Amino acid sequence: MMHQAIADRGVTETCIVVGAEEYVVESDGQEYNHVDHRLDCPTGLHHYDTAEKDRVAVDDTIQRTYDPTSRVEAEYDPPQDRPLVRGLAWAAGLACIAPRTLRTIASPDGQTVPELRRRAPPGARGRSLR
């Protein structure tokens, strides 16, 4: 929930996560893993602490809304999960790996099948194609 002062006079800036360091917090006899994110913002370097499950990747961006009078602590809006980007990355990876894997599986001796050679146009026999 946004603090009323932030809602009234808050200034929002986009920050880049430049580093993250894990640390342990002990509470009621239990240990909890937390992450201290270092942010590079237009107003300088800042820190954003989260539970480990809410870790933000280095080079990702976070929206930071702060009170220009410094009476209220800044609030952070981490990036939302990006399933489309993750799905596209998987698809691109598979597209690069699949052809070679299929050629290797299809080869009778288990070796990579050599690329098919281009056929020479009629009348070009004996000349190099390269």
Task: For residue 39, give the CATH number of its domain.
Answer: 2.40.50.140
What gap in Å lies between CA 95 and CA 109, rounded to an integer? 24
- The answer on 10 and 59 residing in a single domain is yes
pTM > 0.75: yes or no: no
Domain coverage including residue 95: 81-113
The count of domains in the chain is 2
- 75 Cβ contact list (under 8 Å, min separation 6): 2, 3, 6, 10, 64, 65, 66
Residue ranges in the chain whose pLDDT is less than 70: 1-2, 80-130
pLDDT single digits (tens) 10-45? 999 999 999 999 999 998 999 999 999 999 999 999
